Amino acid sequence: MATFNKVNQFAEDVYEKVHNLGSDQLKVALTNTAPVATNSVYTDLTSPLATTNLSGATPFNVTTSSSAQTSGTYKLVCADLVLTATGAVGPFRYIVLYNDTPTSPADPIVGYYDYGSSISLANGETFTVDFDGTNGVLTHA
Amino acid sequence: MRTERIIAIEIETKKAAYHEAAPTMTAAEQKAASDEIKGLQQELCDLLSEGAKPCPLTGDKPIGMKVGKGVYEVGPITSNLRARGETAEEAVEKWNKGEYFIKTEADQEAVKAVTTQALN
C-alpha cells in the first residue's frame, strides 16, 4: 500500500482553524508530478488531472466515515474511492488529499500518496484509492 | 428504521449545503452544521455495525462503513482489528466470529494479539 506523506503546512493548518475534517469536503487530486512537502494548497500542484473521462458527477469527492478521538488519539477514517474511467485517464502517480471547503486558504492540502510508478486507465478500468478503512487515513496522538 | 441509502443521501445533501455556505457562516452556524453531519455519519456507522460485538482488544464498539462497491468493513477506531464482507451483515457476522481481514502488518499484529489474549 502506498505510504501517506503529509505536507508541512497541514501541521499548522490543523491548529489554526483551517480544517474541519469531520464535515469539510475532502477531495483527491491526481498528478504525475511529485508534490513536495512545501506544497500547501491545490494550486501548488503541477498539472492535476481534470475529471475528464471519469464517471460520476463528483468523482474526486472522498466520503468521510469517522472523524473522532478516543482516549486522546484522533483518527480520520474515509471510505476507499473508486475511480472508473470512461475513456483514457492519466498518467498519474501521486494521489493528493486536499480539503475543498476552506476558502482562506483555498483548498489546503492534507498530504499525498506515492504509488511508485505512473498509472494510466483505459475505458472501463478502475483505480481504487485505498484509504485503509478503519485503520484510518491519519491519526494524531 | 432509516436505511443506509437514505442516511447516505442525507449526508451528501447536508454536506453539499455546508460546503456552499461555509465561507459565510458564523462559527456557531458552522459548528451546528458540522455537528449535524457528524451525527449522520455516526448514525450510518452505527447502522452498518449493528449487532457487532465489542472489540476483543479494546472493548470499544466497532463502527461499520462501506469501503467500496460491495465491500463493507467493521472495526473499532481504537485497534487495527477489522472484518470485511459483501454486505454489512456479513461483515458483522465475520467480526463476531473473529474472522478478521488482514491486509497490513498492523492488521496481522492485531490478530496475533487477540490470539495471544485468548491463549492467556
Distance to chain B for A71, nearest Cα, Å? 9
Check residue B109 and give its pLDDT.
Answer: 87
CB contact under 8 A, B77 and A67: no
Q: Among A130, A123, A8, which Cα is nearest to A62's?
A: A130
Nearest chain A alpha carbon to B84: A133
pTM: 0.90
Asked if pLDDT for residue A1 goes beyond 70, the answer is no
Integer Cα distance of A135 and B104 in angstroms: 10
CA angle B20, B24, B27 (to 5 degrees): 110
Asked if pLDDT for residue B39 goes beyond 80, the answer is yes
Q: Which residue has the cell 472489540?
A: B55
Q: Read off the pLDDT of residues B77-93 as tens digits, 9 standing for 90 and up.
A: 988 899 999 999 999 99
Q: What's the average model confidence in pLDDT over B50-56?
A: 97
Q: What's the average model confidence in pLDDT over B13-32?
A: 93
CB contact under 8 A, A73 and B38: no
Query: Any chain B CB within 8 A of the CB of A84?
Result: no
Instruction: Return residues 94-113 of B near A (CB < 8 Å).
Output: 103-104, 106-107
Average pLDDT score, chain B: 93
- Say if residues A37 and A7 touch (Cβ distance below 8 Å): yes
State ipTM: 0.84
Q: Read off the pLDDT of residues A36-69 as tens digits, 9 standing for 90 and up.
A: 999 999 999 999 999 999 998 899 999 999 999 9
